[in-house]
Amino acid sequence: MKVKTLYKIILCFALCFSLTSCEWGLKIIGFELVTYPDKLFYVIGIDQEIDVGGGTVLLITHDNKNNLKLRNEQIQSMDSHGFKIKHTIDFNKEGIYIVYIEWSSDYAVTFPIQIVSLEEIRRIAESAIEQ
């Protein structure tokens, strides 16, 4: 009875190890921005934090046999899927800012966002109506 239980435990560990080790052999060799987040324009006095929802990145990996694997990852929030999202955005000052999405310290992609004032939006809207 004890021998069968021991064999079952060893079999479970072997199965778990073989299933989880599949990802351990993958090495990241590339990281690309596939789609920009849905929101790239922010308004002073209304927006106070960045929204990366809708953005997609591509992780390019290869295994020990040099088989390439491509994996799209949806960026759902500032702390999703092990990404680190960094920026120095001042939501109270107009300008174009760069957002960095890092995967480890070796791979990063960037995209711009723009902070505008309500007055600027009104000016653009009035100019479009006049045309």
Q: Token pair of 121, please?
A: 């939006």
Q: Token pair of 68, please?
A: 């390439």
Supply the pLDDT for residue 47. Answer: 93
Q: Where do the DSSP E strands lie in the chain?
A: 27-35, 41-43, 55-62, 68-75, 84-86, 95-103, 107-116
Share of the chain above pLDDT 70, in %: 65
pTM of the model: 0.65
Which residue do the tokens 């939006």 mark? 121
Judged on CB neighbours under 10 Å (0-12, 13-18, 19+), 11 is: exposed
Within the chain, where are the H helices?
2-24, 118-130
Domains, the chain: 2-130 (2.60.40.3630)
What is d(CA 17, CA 127) in angstroms, rounded to the nearest whole number?
64
**Averaged pLDDT of the chain:** 76
Q: Token pair of 95, please?
A: 């300008």
Supply the pLDDT for residue 97. Answer: 95
Residue 1 has pLDDT above 80, yes or no: no
Supply the pLDDT for residue 102. Answer: 83
